[in-house]
Amino acid sequence: MMTELQNTYLVSDEQRQFYDENGYLVIKGLLDFASLYNYKQRFLQFCKGTVERGNITIVKEVSLRDKGVTGENLINKLHEIHFDDVFMTYTEHPRILSVVSQFIGSDIRVMNSMFINKPPGSVSHPPHQDLYYFPFRPVEKIIAAWTAVDDVTVENGCLYVIPKSHKQGILYPHASLTGASRLYHGIKHSVPSTPGSDQDRRVDLEMSPGDTVFFHPLLIHGSGANVSGRHRKSVTAHYASEHCEYINPRGTVQEDIAVEIETEAERRGFRVSFEDTWKMKSKPITMQSKL
């Protein structure tokens, strides 16, 4: 018998302490099967071209593009899904928002969202920090949610994290990667570990459908290559407090990505700053109507 999940999820003191210490927290079975099924079916509709893409950006796997594969076997990501009628039920899911609000407060904006598909043969995503892409602060008011739609294993390219790597408060220089999709950047050099920390200990996050990891924007993480014969699907969103303020990334380690995002926007016919790009694509959430 399936038990209906409550709309809220209370983070325990032990879970909060684990997040603060390690920079991430996995909550098992946070989302229900019916929701995951709906997200997967919506993704397949985009793969087949049976629905209008609207403002959603479809990203193809560079390493597979020249091999003649199509559809689900080629598409790697759907970006900016938080305006889609189906996918917004993830980015505004009451159980997700319940947890997010306990970390960053109840005045929330969804800043970024993706449905991620790793077809067999997909390459790894190198170590990076999500804050590199974000021109808003403070870091304590930003959090990511990442939910497994399929079983996620080392073989099909699960996430990995470096526990405690957020604690130094450092945003490392990143660089564009040879052969990767536009805007895929990774940390330039090896990250020095702090004595007594676990920064050199990579933890693979194998997860079951519905399991959700929440993580800090400075946490170093990545994902492995998919060397299995099946797809690896997940859905994710980044949230920030409405009280965050925008910064000027010029002259910082974020300057390169700022220029690249502005160039990409101009390629699409928009002349907007790095900061305004995020302002335009983010979306406020009214918590009272969700919980």
Neighbours of 288 (CB within 10 A): 7
For residue 181, what pLDDT is reported?
A: 58
pLDDT over 70 for what percent of the chain?
Answer: 88
Number of domains in the chain: 1
Helix residue ranges, H only, the chain: 13-22, 33-48, 62-65, 88-91, 94-104, 255-267, 274-281
Could you tell me which residue, 47 or 207, shows the higher pLDDT?
207
Query: If 0-12 CB within 10 Å is exposed, 13-18 middle and 19+ buried, where does residue 283 land?
Result: middle
Tell me if residue 129 falls in helix, strand or coil.
coil
**Residue 231 domain-assigned?**
yes
Could you identify the residue written with the tokens 């996995």? Answer: 26
Report how far residue 108's alpha carbon sits from residue 244's, in angstroms, rounded to the nearest whole number.
Answer: 10
- Structure-block tokens of residue 265: 């926007």
The domain that holds 144 is classified in CATH as: 2.60.120.620
pLDDT tops 50 at residue 10: yes
- Structure-block tokens of residue 93: 């899911």
| Per-residue pLDDT tens over the stretch 199-218 | 458 999 999 999 999 999 99
Report how far residue 98's alpha carbon sits from residue 234's, in angstroms, rounded to the nearest whole number.
Answer: 20
Tell me if residue 252 falls in helix, strand or coil.
coil
pLDDT tops 80 at residue 198: no
Tell me if residue 239 falls in helix, strand or coil.
strand
Report if pTM > 0.85: yes
Residue 167 belongs to domain spanning: 22-286
For residue 290, what pLDDT is reported?
A: 57
For residue 180, what pLDDT is reported?
A: 57
Looking only at Cα atoms, what is the longest distance across the chain?
57
Among 89-93, 116-120, 138-142, the least confident range: 116-120
For residue 176, what pLDDT is reported?
A: 79
pLDDT band at 77 (very low <50, low <70, confident <90, very high): very high
Tell me if residue 113 falls in helix, strand or coil.
strand
What is the arithmetic mean of pLDDT over 250-264?
91
pLDDT band at 1 (very low <50, low <70, confident <90, very high): very low
| Per-residue pLDDT tens over the stretch 81-102 | 999 999 999 999 999 999 999 9
For residue 165, what pLDDT is reported?
A: 95
Among 54-63, 92-101, 229-238, the least confident range: 54-63
pLDDT band at 120 (very low <50, low <70, confident <90, very high): confident
Report how far residue 275's alpha carbon sits from residue 261's, in angstroms, rounded to the nearest whole number.
Answer: 10
**Residue 12 domain-assigned?**
no
**Residue 291 domain-assigned?**
no
Report how far residue 8's alpha carbon sits from residue 51's, in angstroms, rounded to the nearest whole number.
Answer: 32
Most confident of 47-56, 57-66, 163-172, 196-205: 163-172
Torsion of CA 167, 169, 170, 171, to 10 degrees: 110
Query: Which amino acid type is present at position 93?
Result: H
What is the arithmetic mean of pLDDT over 186-207?
73
For residue 195, what pLDDT is reported?
A: 46
- Structure-block tokens of residue 3: 């038990």
Report how far residue 42's alpha carbon sits from residue 235's, in angstroms, rounded to the nearest whole number.
Answer: 12
Among 82-96, 183-197, 211-225, 272-286, the least confident range: 183-197
**Residue 114 domain-assigned?**
yes
**Residue 4 domain-assigned?**
no
- Structure-block tokens of residue 140: 């304590």
Sequence-ordered list of residues with C-beta below 8 angstroms from that of 291, at least 6 positions apart, any chain: 7, 8, 94, 97, 98
**Residue 1 domain-assigned?**
no
What is the arithmetic mean of pLDDT over 223-239?
95
Sequence-ordered list of residues with C-beta below 8 angstroms from that of 254, at least 6 positions apart, any chain: 132, 133, 135, 171, 274
Tell me if residue 48 falls in helix, strand or coil.
helix
- Structure-block tokens of residue 257: 């990505």
**Residue 194 domain-assigned?**
yes
What is the arithmetic mean of pLDDT over 139-161?
97
**Residue 16 domain-assigned?**
no
Beta strands in the chain (DSSP E): 24-27, 57-60, 75-79, 108-118, 125-128, 136-137, 142-148, 159-161, 174-176, 185-187, 203-205, 212-215, 221-223, 232-241, 245-246, 283-285
Q: 157 in the Ramachandran plot: left (φ > 0), alpha (ψ -120 to 50) or beta? A: left
